[in-house]
Amino acid sequence: MPKKRKAVDFRELAQKCLRCGLCTTVCPVHQVEADEYTAARGRNLLVNQLKGKKDFDRNFRRRFEKCLLCGSCLPQCPQGISIDLLTLGVREEMVRKKGLGLPKSLVFRFAMRDRERFGKILSTACKLQRYLPAGEGKIRHLPAFLSGLGAGRRIPEIAPVFLRNEIQEVSRPPEGIAPRRRVGLFMGCALDYLFPEIGKKMVRFLNRQGVEVVTPMEQGCCALPVIGAGDMDTAKEMALRNMAAFQNLDRVITGCATCGSALKDYDTFFHRASNGRGKLADFVEKVRDFSEFLVRDLDLSPQALASTEGWGKSLRLTYHDPCHLRRYQGITEEPRRIISSIPWVKLVEMDAPDLCCGMGGSFGLSYYETSKKIADKKAAAIQETGAEAVVTTCPGCRMQILDTLRRHGMQQRVLHIVDLLEPDEN
Ligand code: SF4
Ligand code: SF4
């Protein structure tokens, strides 16, 4: 885990900037858009020039929206400026001064805050999605008239049955396998609504390792999209609900790098607004990425992984490091250790596996053209390896990489790490 960061006033952070420009050399957005204000240095300057509410105009807002929060600039900065926290602080201030706006209020406060209502909205959307142009498998194209959502982007189909309706609240190891741990599963929106098969495979694999999996149904979204929009009051409400849902469990396992990073940063995001750090810190301590849990907590032997069923042939694959796993959680070795232990798999590293894929949550939808340019470098690096498949641990990266490969006419499979451990049902 990287050193714990402290949330501090964004104005104080910006004043520390030396204007050395080291951040500009690594910022994926700055590299495809020659605009000084897309990198940390330019944003610090904008903050230092802030005088009043009128400065939060459209240009200012767009410049602060155009950060992937990828963290690439964090290790470069000699002043240790957390540009992600600075950016979030600015967005929060904009919401305080100018409001959230109707579309975001509807999405975050009306829909995402209430899990039951959000589920009903997505169920209806699932029925309507049959009118969208179909693409490959469970992927659809957004038509051009939905330009606000990224014209032409491939999006995963909303699952007809959500993960919460497919699994038991308590899933126990099969008969004959001695129970050795009891953990909670954090589904997050991606596994619950888009990729329930990933969640089901995680549960099956953990059960086979003697792990009882409890999935509290009161849990909701990790709140990162809401934090990213600067609506900290709504986000805190959502975070407290998640903490209450897992209060009787001593491990919270997630198969989404973004959710994992959000949950592990609850103490950074919310400590100012809470009665002390204690409960937040206790919760944060329990959170584990799926790969981290297998390697660090279960200490799975190579033999346990070697027993995973192959696909009838050896597979040459490459691994993409999600920003939220590598930079915010410091997890790089664990997924590689798992992949390398599987005898029918050959891991070939791509050039710069940690290069951001360009998704960045809603960034990839709002700024699809920029997002595509960033992702094109990832496609070239994957092609270079000659791999037949790409593995990652973040559903957002998976969606972006699949979109990118197919845009380039590349046919590699894009997998979650659990796809290597558990075969598909049927
Ligand atoms: S690396 Fe840090 S100190 Fe240097 S310009 Fe960027 S934000 Fe400022
Ligand atoms: S977090 Fe990423 S996108 Fe944002 S300024 Fe830093 S390098 Fe650029």
DSSP 379-391: HHHHHHHT-SEEE
CA 321 to centroid of ligand 1, rounded, Å: 24
Tell me which residue has its CA closest to atom 8 in ligand 2. Answer: 27
192 lines ligand 2 (CB under 6 A): no
Q: Where are the alpha helices (H) located in 82-154, listed in sequence order?
A: 83-98, 102-104, 115-128
Tell me which residue has its CA closest to atom 2 in ligand 1. Answer: 77
CATH 1.10.1060.10 segments of the chain: 10-98
pLDDT (mean) for 198-217: 96
Q: In whole angstroms, what is the distance from residue 313 CA to residue 1 CA?
A: 36
Point out the ligand nearest to the CA of residue 71: 2
**Adjacent-strand bridge partners of 413:** 389
With beta carbons less than 8 A apart as the criterion, state whether 330 and 284 touch.
no
Q: In whole angstroms, what is the distance from residue 357 CA to residue 355 CA?
A: 6
Pairing of strands 345-347, 315-319: parallel
Point out the ligand nearest to the CA of residue 354: 2
Please report which confidence band the pLDDT of residue 80 belongs to, taking 50, 70 and 90 as the band edges: very high
Q: In whole angstroms, what is the distance from residue 197 CA to residue 415 CA?
A: 12
Please say whether the dihedral angle defined by the alpha carbons of residues 220, 221, 226 and 227, taken in this order, is positive or negative: positive
Q: In whole angstroms, what is the distance from residue 102 CA to residue 99 CA?
A: 9
The residue to which tokens 């997924």 are assigned: 335
High-pLDDT (> 70) share of the chain, %: 89
Pocket test for ligand 2, best of 10, 67, 77, 370 (most atoms within 8 A of CB): 67
DSSP-based three-state secondary structure for 41:
helix
Residue 225: in which H helix or E strand, if any? helix 224-228
Ligand 1 binding pocket (C-beta < 6 A) is 17-23, 40-41, 44, 76-79, 81
With beta carbons less than 8 A apart as the criterion, state whether 248 and 216 touch.
no
DSSP-based three-state secondary structure for 189:
helix
Tell me which residue has its CA closest to atom 1 in ligand 1. Answer: 77
What pLDDT is attached to residue 408?
Answer: 94
Please say whether the dihedral angle defined by the alpha carbons of residues 321, 17, 263 and 165, taken in this order, is positive or negative: negative
Tell me which residue has its CA closest to atom 7 in ligand 2. Answer: 27
Tell me which residue has its CA closest to atom 4 in ligand 2. Answer: 67
What pLDDT is attached to residue 412?
Answer: 95
CA 56 to centroid of ligand 1, rounded, Å: 22
355 lines ligand 2 (CB under 6 A): no
The residue to which tokens 């919310």 are assigned: 270
CA 26 to centroid of ligand 2, rounded, Å: 8
Report the side by side order of strands in the sheet with 315-319. Answer: 345-347, 315-319, 389-392, 413-416
- Exposure string of 332-347, with b = 16+ CB inside 10 Å and e = fewer, is bebbbebbebbeebeb
Task: Quote the Cα angle for 366-164-107, to 5°.
Answer: 30
Check pLDDT > 70 for residue 138: no
Report the side by side order of strands in the sheet with 252-254. Answer: 170-171, 211-214, 181-186, 252-254, 287-289
- Residue of higher predicted confidence among 216 and 127: 216
Picking from 131, 113, 41, 88, the residue whose alpha carbon sits closest to that of residue 230 is 88
DSSP-based three-state secondary structure for 170:
strand
Pocket test for ligand 1, best of 24, 36, 43, 44 (most atoms within 8 A of CB): 44
pLDDT in tens, 276-311: 567 888 999 999 999 999 999 999 877 777 666 666
CA 16 to centroid of ligand 1, rounded, Å: 8
Least confident stretch, 53-57, 184-188, 397-401, 411-415: 53-57
What pLDDT is attached to residue 274?
Answer: 52
Least confident stretch, 249-258, 266-275, 345-354, 361-370: 266-275
Please report which confidence band the pLDDT of residue 424 belongs to, taking 50, 70 and 90 as the band edges: confident
pLDDT (mean) for 405-409: 93
What is the CATH topology of the domain spanning 302-421? Rossmann fold (3.40.50)
**Amino acid letter, residue 115:** R
CATH 3.40.50 segments of the chain: 302-421
CA 232 to centroid of ligand 2, rounded, Å: 21
Pairing of strands 170-171, 211-214: antiparallel
What pLDDT is attached to residue 349?
Answer: 98
What pLDDT is attached to residue 1?
Answer: 61
CA 17 to centroid of ligand 1, rounded, Å: 5
The residue to which tokens 């949950």 are assigned: 263
Q: Which CATH number fits domain 10-98: 1.20.58.100, 3.30.70.120, 3.90.1300.10, 1.10.1060.10?
A: 1.10.1060.10
